[in-house]
């Protein structure tokens, strides 16, 4: 059995690390917390890991902007190591605030191949924090561990989830060159920009992105809040399923990891 | 419901009770109803009434005034008396006294009220219940006795009155109702449960329909109005339909039960007044009847729209729409 070593990042303000670790433990991985200061001091930890995870929360209080301080710190002091990790076959997952940090760090979408910020995640069109269940559908993408056609319900909980590109050309590149992994869909299963099925107004319904290599995934909603059967919102109507919708993402990532 | 320990299905059921308007009539009634509401709320969600601790949060006016202090004492005794019968220890609480303000010549004091929070430890969160109706064809069962108790009710408030017949709690009967409903839920005889609180029977039924996006037919003539079934007194028999619909009598539950589980329900509801009062339908209409005649038909979508409307306590939303 594939039992990849997973590093679950901790930093001041990150607050979803326990459930994220638990989800990985349930699908046969060997997850371990690693504090950002420890990782900066011992970057060789990355060489022993197959998966690096940026959990949700409010890293460094989201000072300046969501995920900004963590992203800047990691890019300045660990940038080359992170690129080497991804280029060497390592997988990276960023959930919610982790996604925001990956975007500011430049690991997503990294269309240029360089470690610099290309797009941004900013204030929801509703202008306030949104906390609600959303439905995601995966599309055909570069991502090596998310196939086309998954439907996954999980909670979104963010104030800054609106994806903005620098121009229309860049946005079209995201869509047409396989950088978009997840989209918010409406009741009919169609990608949507309409509130509330799309909680932040992201163009083209974009909820999650991958990078050039397909080994990095960031998404705004929380599969880590939908991996147990009783996490789901309607089990009392339909009975408990064997697992929550989000578990399949962790499973698939673990299967795809290099041990 | 919370499952705080990762990897474990052991959980907590948390519930609240609060009725500040009752205090304008009698602070003792307000206090005991707050505890009763918290407990029936807790039981409806799958909590265990024999394994429950409670908290009291007092908010009071100027306790330097004799009437205010007297009300506080009456409320505290009422709370103690009911808690002893329900076997629910008060493990903590908080108070906020002297909520009185002067505006020129006018003195404004809040009505003294107590928020009761109930907390129950349960072995498996998968045994909890929600309030939304689950399936057309299921039966609606009312547990508890409906009396002419509309003082301080949402119904009188909507009509611009306060009233005087504030609900009181029959402690011994309350304990039975809580225990028996909890037993029926533990026996998996119940699909959904809702306590009857502000707005009484019809508001609870409408909330269940709104949650499940299903309709119902409800017969007000079937509602047990006093004591055990078949023991209705002459005065109770004279309850008007609107009184039955909106009375806020305590210790009552509305349950959704699958027809083939009715017998399991029956054997668990011992020494408790109860009756089948209606059934769940696919009609997307809330039908309120009395002995077969329609008293009201409410479109489910209209009920949903009304429920989703923001509160407009000071009329500003209505103003801005004009």
Q: Which of A243, B5, A192 is nearest to A252 (CA)?
A: A243
Flag whether pLDDT at A258 surpasses 80.
no
Handedness of CA A252, A11, A16, A113 (dihedral sign): negative
Share of chain A above pLDDT 90, in %: 98
Handedness of CA B298, B300, B305, B306 (dihedral sign): positive
- pLDDT band at B189, cuts 50/70/90? very high
Residue B313 pLDDT: 73
The secondary structure of residue B176, as a DSSP letter, is: H
On whether the CB atoms of residues A155 and A225 are closer than 8 A, the answer is yes
Residue A208 pLDDT: 98
A200: Cβ contacts below 8 Å, ≥ 6 apart: A124, A125, A126, A130, A156, A158, A160, A161, A162, A220
Mean pLDDT of chain B: 93
Residue B226 pLDDT: 72
Flag whether pLDDT at B228 surpasses 50.
no
The secondary structure of residue B208, as a DSSP letter, is: H
The C-alpha atoms of residue B280 and residue B208 are separated, in whole angstroms, by: 10
Distance from CA of B133 to the nearest CA of A (A): 9
pLDDT digits (tens, 9 = 90+) for B85-117: 999 999 999 999 989 888 899 988 888 999 999
pLDDT digits (tens, 9 = 90+) for A114-142: 999 999 999 999 999 999 999 999 999 99
> What DSSP assignment string belongs to B236-275?
HHT--HHHHHH---SS-EEEEE-GGGHHHHHHH-TT--EE
Interface of B with A in 110-149 (CB under 8 A): 125-126, 128-130, 132, 134
Of the partner residues A18, A230, A235, the one whose CB lies closest to the CB of residue B3? A230
B6 touching A, CB under 8 A?
A: yes
CB contact under 8 A, B6 and A22: yes
Element (H, E) at A78: helix A68-87
- Greatest Cα pair distance in chain B: 65
Residue A259 pLDDT: 63
This prediction has a pTM of: 0.89
Which region among A71-75, A155-159, B102-106 has the lowest average model confidence (pLDDT)?
A: B102-106
- Which ipTM was obtained for this model? 0.82
Residue A116 pLDDT: 95
The C-alpha atoms of residue A74 and residue A87 are separated, in whole angstroms, by: 17
Residues listed for chain B? 322
Flag whether pLDDT at B320 surpasses 80.
no
State whether residue A122 is helix, strand or coil.
strand
The C-alpha angle with vertex A131 and arms to A127 and A136, in degrees rounded to 5, equals: 105
CB contact under 8 A, B125 and A236: no
The C-alpha atoms of residue B81 and residue B253 are separated, in whole angstroms, by: 22
The C-alpha atoms of residue A46 and residue B58 are separated, in whole angstroms, by: 54
- pLDDT band at B227, cuts 50/70/90? very low
Flag whether pLDDT at B231 surpasses 90.
no
> Tokens 């008007």 correspond to what residue?
B240
pLDDT digits (tens, 9 = 90+) for A13-67: 999 999 999 999 999 999 999 999 999 999 999 999 999 999 999 999 999 999 9
Contacts of A229 in chain B (CB under 8 A): 126
């Amino acid at each position: 059995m594939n039992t990849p070593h997973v590093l679950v990042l901790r930093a001041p303000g990150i607050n979803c690390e326990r459930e994220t670790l638990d989800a990985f433990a349930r699908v046969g991985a060997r997850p371990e917390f690693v504090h950002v200061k420890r990782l900066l001091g011992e970057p060789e930890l990355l060489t022993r890991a197959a998966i690096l995870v940026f959990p949700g929360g409010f890293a460094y209080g989201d000072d300046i902007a969501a995920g900004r301080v963590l992203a800047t710190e990691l890019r300045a002091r660990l940038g080359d190591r992170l690129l080497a990790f991804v280029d060497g076959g390592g997988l990276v997952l960023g959930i919610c605030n982790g996604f925001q940090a990956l975007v500011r760090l430049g690991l997503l979408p990294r269309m240029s191949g360089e470690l610099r910020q290309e797009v941004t995640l900013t204030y929801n069109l509703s202008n306030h924090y949104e906390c609600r269940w959303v439905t995601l559908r995966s599309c055909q993408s570069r991502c090596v561990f998310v196939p086309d056609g998954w439907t996954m319900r999980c909670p979104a909980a963010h104030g800054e989830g609106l994806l903005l590109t620098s121009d229309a050309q860049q946005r079209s590149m995201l869509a047409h060159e396989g950088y978009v992994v997840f989209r918010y869909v409406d009741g009919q299963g169609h990608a949507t920009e309409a509130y509330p099925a799309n909680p932040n107004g992201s163009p083209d319904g974009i909820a999650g992105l991958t990078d050039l290599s397909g080994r990095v995934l960031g998404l705004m909603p929380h599969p880590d809040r939908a991996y147990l059967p009783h996490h789901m919102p309607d089990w009392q109507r339909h009975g408990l399923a064997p697992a929550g919708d989000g578990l399949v993402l962790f499973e698939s990532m673990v299967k795809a990891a290099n041990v | 419901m919370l499952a705080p320990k990762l990897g474990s299905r052991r959980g907590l059921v948390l519930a609240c009770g609060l009725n500040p308007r009752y205090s304008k009539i009698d602070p003792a009634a307000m206090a005991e109803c707050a505890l009763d509401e918290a407990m029936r709320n807790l039981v409806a969600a799958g909590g265990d009434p024999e394994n429950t601790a409670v908290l009291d949060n007092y908010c009071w006016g100027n306790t330097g005034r004799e009437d205010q202090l007297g009300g506080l004492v009456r409320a505290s005794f009422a709370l103690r008396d009911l808690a002893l019968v329900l076997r629910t220890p008060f493990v903590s609480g908080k108070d906020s006294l002297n909520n009185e303000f002067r505006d020129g010549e006018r003195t404004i004091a809040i009505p003294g009220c107590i928020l009761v929070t109930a907390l129950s430890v349960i072995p498996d969160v998968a045994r909890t219940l929600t309030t939304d109706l689950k399936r057309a064809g299921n039966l609606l069962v009312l547990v508890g006795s409906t009396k002419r108790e509309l003082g301080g009710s949402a119904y009188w408030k909507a009509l611009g009155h306060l009233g005087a017949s504030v609900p009181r709690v029959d402690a011994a009967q309350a304990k039975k109702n809580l225990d028996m409903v909890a037993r029926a839920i533990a026996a998996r005889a119940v699909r959904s449960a809702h306590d009857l609180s502000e707005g009484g029977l019809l508001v609870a039924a409408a909330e269940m329909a709104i949650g499940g996006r299903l309709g119902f037919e409800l017969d007000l003539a079937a509602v047990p109005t006093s004591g055990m079934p078949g023991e209705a007194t002459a005065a109770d028999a004279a309850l008007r339909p609107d009184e039955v619909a909106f009375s806020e009598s305590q210790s009552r539950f509305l349950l959704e039960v699958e027809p083939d589980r009715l017998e399991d329900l029956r054997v668990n509801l011992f020494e408790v007044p109860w009756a089948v009062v209606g059934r769940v339908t696919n009609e997307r209409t809330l039908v309120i009847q009395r002995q077969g005649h329609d008293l009201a038909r409410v479109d489910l979508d209209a009920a949903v729209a009304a429920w989703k409307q923001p509160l407009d306590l000071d009329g500003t939303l209505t103003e801005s729409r004009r």
